[in-house]
């Protein structure tokens, strides 16, 4: 009977995930492990499978809003894809406890940085010195672009290893390192997540970590939730969206730390 609730859970998770640019695995993995009794590795693989549908649905909506930096997203995928594949492979070789704790504490730092960023700089300073004006402007700053591409590998690694879409790291990397405005960072993150999650799922499938029926039931809800989340995000100011993402990130980090302690 409880399996019939998966589309509802998927809808709620998809709404939140699409709004802040994450895949939703930070909620799906504990849901499957705690409520449905999944083995952690199967929860990770099944979560990542449902995220493919979430990211595609979100990307279609964000594409209509013209908020995706396509070239940037593809370049980020160059490192997130092998990172996700490696992360998925590591689930079969070693304990993820140490890495999970490192990511958990790192996410707390990033969350606090994002929440506090508007209090330590004025709007004029941010506009002139922080945010890029366009994707072309970003490509004129090779340091920002190359730094973001290099760091995105860890977003992919977290995706494959922990069953998350990778947006929990990609969005902060894009906003804090690459200076991409938050609304465009969220949309681009969902686009990049298509490639990242697909890479991780390929390896998890070979390891037998995917429960297809549960993944499709979740996806049925996340597809519609992702549309609502993408639509709602454009009505929220950059300041509030960054705060929301920071709060979600704190929840994510606490969940990860508690999982691996």
Report the pLDDT value the prediction gives residue 122, as an integer from 0 to 100: 44
Is 0.95 topped by the overall pTM? Answer: no
Asked if 18 and 189 touch (Cβ cutoff 8 Å), the reply is no
Report the pLDDT value the prediction gives residue 128, as an integer from 0 to 100: 45
Q: Say which residue the tokens 């938050």 belong to.
A: 182
**pLDDT tens digits, the chain, 261 residues: what are they?**
578 899 999 999 888 888 877 778 878 888 888 788 888 888 889 999 999 998 998 899 899 999 999 999 999 999 999 999 999 998 888 665 776 677 778 778 777 876 776 554 444 444 445 688 899 999 998 899 999 999 999 999 989 988 887 888 898 899 989 999 988 998 999 999 999 999 999 999 999 999 999 999 999 999 999 888 888 877 777 677 777 778 877 887 887 788 777
Report the pLDDT value the prediction gives residue 191, as an integer from 0 to 100: 96
Task: Note down the domain range covering 30.
Answer: 2-260
Report the pLDDT value the prediction gives residue 111, as an integer from 0 to 100: 79
The total of structural domains in the chain comes to 1
Residues 6+ apart with CB under 8 A from 9: 28, 31, 218, 221
Task: Give the closest residue to 20 by CA, choosing from 221, 195, 234.
Answer: 234
Report the pLDDT value the prediction gives residue 94, as an integer from 0 to 100: 67
């Amino acid at each position: 009977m409880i399996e019939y609730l998966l589309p509802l859970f998927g809808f709620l998770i998809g709404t939140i995930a699409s709004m802040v640019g994450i895949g939703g695995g930070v909620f799906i993995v504990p849901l499957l492990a705690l409520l449905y009794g999944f083995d952690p590795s199967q929860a990770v693989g099944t979560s990542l499978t449902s995220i493919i549908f979430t990211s595609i649905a979100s990307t279609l909506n964000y594409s209509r809003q013209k908020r995706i930096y396509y070239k940037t997203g593809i370049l980020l995928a160059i490192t997130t894809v092998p990172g996700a594949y490696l992360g998925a492979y590591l689930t079969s070789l070693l304990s993820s406890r140490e890495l999970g704790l490192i990511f958990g504490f790192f996410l707390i730092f990033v969350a606090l940085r994002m929440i506090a960023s508007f209090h330590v700089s004025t709007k004029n300073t941010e506009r002139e010195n922080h945010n890029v004006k366009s994707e072309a402007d970003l490509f004129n700053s090779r340091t920002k672009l190359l730094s973001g591409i290099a760091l995105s590998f860890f977003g992919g690694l977290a995706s494959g290893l922990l069953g998350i879409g990778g947006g929990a790291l990609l969005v902060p990397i894009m906003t804090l390192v690459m200076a991409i405005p938050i609304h465009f960072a969220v949309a681009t993150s969902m686009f990049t997540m298509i490639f990242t999650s697909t890479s991780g799922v390929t390896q998890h499938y070979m390891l037998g970590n995917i429960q297809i029926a549960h993944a499709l039931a979740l996806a049925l809800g996340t597809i519609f939730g992702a549309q609502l989340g993408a639509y709602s995000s454009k009505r929220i100011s950059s300041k509030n969206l960054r705060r929301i993402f920071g709060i979600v990130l704190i929840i994510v980090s606490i969940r990860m730390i508690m999982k691996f302690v």
